[in-house]
Amino acid sequence: MTENRNIRDQLRAADYVADDALSTALQLAINLKRPLLLEGEAGVGKTEVAKALASIMQTNLIRLQCYEGLDAAAAIYEWNYQKQLLYIKASEREDKTASQVEQHIFTEDFLLERPLLQAIGQEISPVLLIDEIDRADEEFEAYLLEILSDFQITVPELGTITATSVPHVILTSNGTRELSDALRRRCLYSYVDFPSQARELEIILSRVPDIEAGLADQISRFVLNLRKEELEKNPGVAETLDWAAALVGLKISSLDGDLETIQSTLICLLKTETDLKSITKEVASRLLGKAA
């Protein structure tokens, strides 16, 4: 419990407000040297966890952003073909055999390291963020299994490269598709939900300079109730912070003020036409009343 509280305090010093469940998950992932899979809706702060962890551990953050069609060349390594061609052309003027040339162009001199290979080659354990793994194809997950189990990568021309230091791995998923059991077994797991009103208030106060406590409290209550409306896209923590910064910039110190002006700033929170139209003046007034 002491260690958990310690890491929670360290994260707080790095402007990340974690609850007990997430603090425990992070502490266990560090102690056991296991990857940590974080699931939850977009905007709850999963990616920020990795950034904060890298900050408190004073190490590099290496990020792999996943997408449909992501392959080994983009995630692990590829050969620098242009540099290889230039070397081959230059070798034509030298007295080198084809075998000698071939042996040299498949060395580390011509290897382009992508995030996964970079991560296992660091002298000091980095934080490796594999962001939105659910966007990658199922085939790509197979690539990850060797890395997450043994922290080694096989390059056919070079052999197996074992991690110099084991990275701290954070995987995030928005739940757009089900992940494989094999991947889940290799990870510790934590679900990251939208913050409670009290925790979101703490986040606002820590991340928005010069905001008045009363306004921050109203904002946290408004957003809490806004997420209970039937929206296409719930506002995330980042949107809350944008709104808070916008209100401070407009010198608005209370949500009890001009309804029309405040409603015009809701574009910081609402990201679709349907959601903008659904929060009418009447709805906004009702929500502001609950936040007061």
The string of pLDDT tens digits covering residues 199-256 is 999 999 999 989 999 999 999 999 999 999 999 999 999 999 999 999 999 999 999 8
The values of phi and psi at residue 168, to 5°, are -90, 110
From CA 101, how far away is CA 107, in angstroms rounded?
Answer: 11
Structure tokens at 252: 């608005």
Q: What is the dihedral of CA 157, 159, 160, 161, to 10 degrees?
A: -70
What 8-state DSSP symbol labels residue 179?
Answer: P
Does residue 72 register a pLDDT over 90? no
Kindly report the length of the chain: 292
Q: Report pLDDT for 2.
A: 57
Mean pLDDT of the chain: 92
From CA 207, how far away is CA 15, in angstroms rounded?
Answer: 7
Q: What is the dihedral of CA 21, 26, 30, 33, to 10 degrees?
A: 90
User: What single-letter amino acid sits at 8?
Assistant: R
Cβ neighbours, 10 Å, residue 141? 17
From CA 182, how far away is CA 147, in angstroms rounded?
Answer: 13
Largest Cα span, the chain: 84
Rg value, the chain, Cα: 24
Beta bridge partners of 77: 113
From CA 61, how far away is CA 115, in angstroms rounded?
Answer: 10
From CA 77, how far away is CA 109, in angstroms rounded?
Answer: 13
pLDDT tens digit sequence for 143-195: 888 788 889 888 888 899 999 899 999 999 998 899 999 999 999 999 999 99
Lowest-confidence range among 17-31, 105-119, 140-154, 177-191?
A: 140-154
Residue 242 φ/ψ region, left for φ over 0, alpha for ψ in the -120 to 50 degree band, beta for the rest = alpha
Q: Give the pairing type, strands 127-131 and 111-113.
A: unpaired
